Structure 1
């Protein structure tokens, strides 16, 4: 059986029931899953689904739905936007794909989900080659040899007749630990998530090499309690992907056919992280860049409640001791005029960080090789305090080849250098 091509939509698109392969059963399962997560990922309509700012992949039963980013009139080619999303996740280190060129040639993922599954399989193969980690664990056993500590009450309870046995508690040094148990649980899940024969074959090969391990009940706390040391640091990548798979998977208990797995990212957060990492790559040594740098904004007089403000990015030229605020927006301002709420937010940021300028940073609706800047200034206050600036800056997401623009970071850095000199 060949792998089914994923159904691809853009963020904020509508998907109607009976459109392509999307059925009423899929609609019901997605609604149940969304309800379990506070209704944040999408909205249900009477006859379909309305997606919002979350991008990524949702699998419902045997149907894979990819929600792709897109801005304005930029190319409608969904295969290109799939690559853009994967490249953006990779640039933000939210996905590390195709570490080896040979792997990319041997198996090209059919979907974003399969890209994650392939990466997890590759990590597990590497860990097996290196040797699965061993750890000490405490074990209670009723055996024929006296080793460890004899538990008298259990010994009398179980061995009143079988006096040749000993009920003991002792330490065992083996591979039956939480790290390997998580790997095994995630590997057993993969065949239910993919129809790719190549992925299934590789998983079955791995399962044959795994030792018998205890079945682990996984929760968010399981991953929070993991402690990585010198012996387990190389497990970190695999644990992150296992958490994505195991914590976002919800089996359909009633029907058993429409399980749901969602790996979704808020596009606003992804855009902010992408801009931050591009700036870090090109920043001069005398700059500091702080992400989500919070300050207290308001507090109740009795101290029981406070509110904080935190701009997306604060770029500071330490030589000139001047700051510029960057607030990323994955949307298009109508007629290049920002919303009132955004302007008020920028004014407060300028005040509290004593910045000379605040920039609302938007993506271009078209592929342009240069930045577009619309300068703006707040009106001076009546007490004669000088006004500070607030402008709109548009940057190109894609280059002329319809790929992520590699010049974005350097162009943005040059622009900020000029702003600091004004």
Structure 2
């Protein structure tokens, strides 16, 4: 079977037709069925499909995969968009998918599924070098020489007249356990997509390393039933990749359904997780704390009953030094505008949201974080004075995270601000 990839960008409109760069009517029908489990993934128009902020991979069936990539600014280069997604995944999920910690040009040029399969094979190779987890399993077998314990009843009834067979029960150390079974299932599912010399060679090596592990067709459901175990903590990265690959390619997902299996990421959440992970690393080195999705505060009390709280607030990030709140921030995966004077001009709704945070949280700084792109090269550092909140005069800062930078650097950070300590 020939495997093909249709690459589109976030928010792009793709026609439904018969060409190689279009979606077939059957594929569009599968996407429509999939959106019941993934609301908001795409919107259907007249013989067209418009994609939203979800990016990643969709298995369209028939050897065809839909690759949806993020769009930053006006850049429509799939290779650069692929690099952006890989960087964000690296930060958000702490995945060691790059040998040197960076996304090189060659990696960006490869289709996303090829990169994922190669990353999974490399994760398996690391486990094999360390040593796969083995567990003792109780086996019963008829042997020529006794091993372990003699099964007296079976020996007396089944082998009473045979001296060349000894019914034995013994403990055997084996790699046949649920964790390795999941990894083997993902390995088998990835076989058709292990394209290229490096992926093909690694697949053969890993298949030999997992030879004693039986193949299971319920790998995805088994993955969901795995329990925590300290002895398999080092399996975390490989098991995450295995779960993703099984979700997209596992036979038990595709069988008997018109829906398209998918491996999609909400860019709003992915950008938030990547920025949070990066800032948390920096905050820890400075003795600060970064709290994610902070809850516990409300915008208002019921008039006459201060114990009844309404309008729960949930900022993406709260930066603190011990009990002192330094700043409250929200990440926004959207394009920030620039006014005629080169100032960053966030949408009104975003500013209103941060004003609400700054009115309730006892801090002097509120921060909006957007992705940086080349269209902001001539923009200037921008901050807005918010209305007083008691004795405080909070300031709204607008900063940008450079998603084209492997270090996820930040632009427009004011000197002296709390976030300047995290640069």
Structure 1 residue corresponding to 2:319, chosen from 310, 315, 333: 315
Give CA-to-partner distance per residue, 1:101-125, whole Å, 9 cap, x none. Answer: 9x98998872122111101112223
Cα distance change, pair 355–22 in 1 and its aligned pair in 2 (3 A): same
Task: Tell me the CA shift for residue 187 of structure 1.
Answer: 0.8
Deviation at 1:149, TM superposition (A): 7.9
Rounded Cα–Cα distance in structure 2 between residues aligned with 1:407 and 1:225: 33
How many equivalent pairs are there?
Answer: 398
Partner of 2:288: 287
Structure 1 position 13 matched with structure 2 position 12:
yes
1:227 maps to what in 2?
228
Distance in 1, matches of 2:44 and 2:335, equals 25
Q: Which residue of 1 aligns with 2:242?
A: 242
Give 2:255's aligned residue: 253
Q: Cα distance, 1:169 vs. partner?
A: 5.6
- Quote the Cα distance in structure 1 between the aligned partners of 2:105 and 2:78: 22
**What is the TM-score when the length of structure 2 is the normalising length?**
0.76
Cα distance between partner residues in 1 of 2:152 and 2:328: 65
Q: Assess if the C-alpha contact under 8 Å between 2:56 and 2:69 holds in 1.
A: yes
Q: Does residue 171 of structure 2 align to residue 171 of structure 1?
A: yes
Q: CA–CA distance in 2 between the matches of 1:151 and 1:111?
A: 60
**What TM-score, normalized by structure 1, do the two folds share?**
0.76
Check whether the contact 2:368–2:396 (CA below 8 A) recurs between aligned residues: yes
Report the equivalent of 1:354.
362
SS of the counterpart of 2:128? helix
| 1:39 alignment partner in structure 2 | 39
Is contact 1:369–1:396 with CA below 8 Å preserved after alignment? no
Distance of 1:105 and 1:275 partners within structure 2? 23
Tell me, yes or no, if the aligned pair for 1:326 and 1:359 is still in contact at 8 Å. Answer: yes
Output the CA distance in 1 between the equivalents of 2:377 and 2:64: 36
CA–CA separation in structure 2 for the residues paired with 1:410 and 1:360? 12
Question: For residues 236-279 of structure 1, what are the alpha-carbon distances to aligned partners after superposition, in whole Å with 9 as ceiling and x for unaligned?
Answer: 22111101111344643359xx9944322111122222322443
In the other structure, the counterpart of 1:134 is 134
Greater shift in the superposed pair: 87-96 or 237-246: 87-96
> CA offsets per residue over residues 259-301 of structure 1, 9 Å max, x none?
9443221111222223224434554725332222221549999
Q: Shift of the alpha carbon at 1:357? A: 2.7
> 2:53 matched to 1:53?
yes
**CA 1:170 to 1:247, structure 2 compared with 1: closer, same or farther past 3 Å?**
farther
Distance in 2 of aligned mates of 1:392 and 1:328: 12
Q: Structure 2 vs 1, CA of residues 104 and 211 (structure 1 numbering), >3 Å: closer, same or farther?
A: farther
1:324–1:357 contact (8 Å) kept in structure 2: yes
* Residue pair 2:398, 2:412 contacting (<8 A) in 1 also: no
* Aligned-residue offset at 1:397: 3.0
The CA RMSD measured in Å over matched residues stands at: 4.2
- For 1:49 and 1:239, locate their aligned partners in 2 and report how far apart those are by CA, in whole Å: 33
Judge conservation of contact 2:151–2:167 (CA < 8 Å) in 1.
yes
Alpha-carbon contact 2:382-2:412 (below 8 Å) kept: no
Preserved CA contact (<8 Å) 1:43 1:51: yes
Once the two structures are overlaid, the 10-residue window that deviates more, 21-30 or 113-122, is 21-30
Q: CA deviation at 1:135?
A: 0.6
Distance 1:413 1:377 in 2: 16
Secondary structure in structure 2 of the residue aligned to 1:43: strand
SS at match of 1:98: coil
Q: Could you tell me which of 384, 397, 402 is aligned with 1:397? A: 402
Alpha-carbon distance change, 395 to 27 in structure 1, aligned in 2, over 3 angstroms: same
Cα distance between partner residues in 2 of 1:288 and 1:107: 34
**1:269-284, aligned counterparts within 5 Å?**
269-280=269-280, 282-283=282-283
| Cα drift, residue 100 of structure 1 | 6.2
User: Matched residues in 1 for 2:174 and 2:259: separation?
Assistant: 34
CA distance in 2, matches of 1:140, 1:33: 46
Distance 1:55 1:273, change over 3 A: same
Report if aligned partners of 1:376, 1:389 keep a CA contact under 8 Å in 2: yes
CA change 1:192–1:410 in 2 (3 A) is: same
CA change 1:263–1:207 in 2 (3 A) is same
Q: Deviation digits for residues 8-45 of structure 1, max 9, x if unmatched? A: 2221212222351532232233333333x243433344
Contact 1:3 1:110 in 2 (8 A): no
